[in-house]
Amino acid sequence: MTILYAAEADEAAQWTDSLRVLDPSLDIRFWPDWGDPATVDFVIVGGRSPGDLSVFPKLKAIQSTWAGVNHLLRSQGLPQGVPIARMVDRGLTGSMTEFVVYQVLDEWRRGAELRKAQRDACWLETMPRLAKDCRVGILGLGTLGTDIARKLDGLDFSVRGWSRSMKEAGGGIRSFGGAENLPAFLGDLDILICLLPLTAETENILDAKLFGHLPDGAVLINVGRGAQLNEGDLLAALASGRIRRAILDVFREEPLPEPHPFWRHPQITLTPHVAAITRAGTGADDILENYRRAMAGRPLVNQVDVRKGY
């Protein structure tokens, strides 16, 4: 039984070292030196589309080291009927929650204004705003969105979440489900956070139509996928005042090209897709569990519904 690591070489060492610590007996090979393709049972992929996986006639499962699998589902040579698992590890969830909670707190406590005042040598005394007066909306109440919602709720923010179908997050979190309830979800938000998976339905969802349901001066935080944002519509919304500030961690093209207008826009804060990165030390446990499940013919942990795209 063989595991093939079919991703970037610079990722390979950390993952394979972590897997071998857990089980030294594992037979791990690396793309494209897999030997006899009929011996490959389990393939690990990273953040870019792999090669033609249909060459492996006895493949039992595919494991992504990324939470998003849209690149994989769109790749050529994806074998039909082979189960796919995405990565939702403890380290990634904690990292994403820390990033988003920090950005929300920084925004609500006027961090950007205070930093500018320091640069200008201006003594800016402002009345601190209370968390209970801040309305935060989260697009996507999956594992990541739910954890963020609960942490913000615990800090006394007024939190609501929206998903394609109704999901309950507990506590004081209000839930909205379905496209027909999206305008009501957006209506009076101070901060909108996007954590949706990228599917045909969510591509370009952050557009002029959606922004039109927000109140003037709303703040956008996008940590979902770059292709969910209509970049021209965001620039127009910033110019009109509908969006006051945007915090972006994901982009259509990464790395973001140097001439891109986002780099120097005074109302945009950029981070280079670092909100949450899967750690081999915590994710390897899940990969090994899925390898053992695949060998036993059992359902995978975090198995992807190919019809939904996540």
C-alpha 310/C-alpha 85 separation (Å) is 9
CA proximity to 304, closest of 161, 195, 178, 142: 142
Alpha carbon distance 33, 14 (integer Å) = 19
- Beta-ladder partners of 62: 43, 84
Residues 68, 70, 75, 80: is their CA dihedral positive or negative? Answer: positive
Helix orientation angle between 90-108 and 280-296, rounded to the nearest 10 degrees: 140
Q: What's the burial of 65, exposed, middle or buried (CB within 10 Å: 0-12/13-18/19+)? A: buried
* d(C-alpha 149, C-alpha 142), whole Å: 10
> CA 255, CA 273: separation in Å to the nearest integer?
9
Length of the chain: 310
Q: Is the peptide bond before 128 cis (omega within 30 degrees of 0)?
A: no
- State the Cα–Cα distance between residues 285 and 297, nearest whole angstrom: 18
As a whole number of angstroms, the distance between CA 261 and CA 223 comes to 19
For residues 130 and 157, give the distance between their C-alpha atoms in angstroms, rounded to a whole number.
Answer: 8
* Residue 241 near residue 216 (C-beta atoms within 8 A): yes
Known catalytic residues are 225, 273
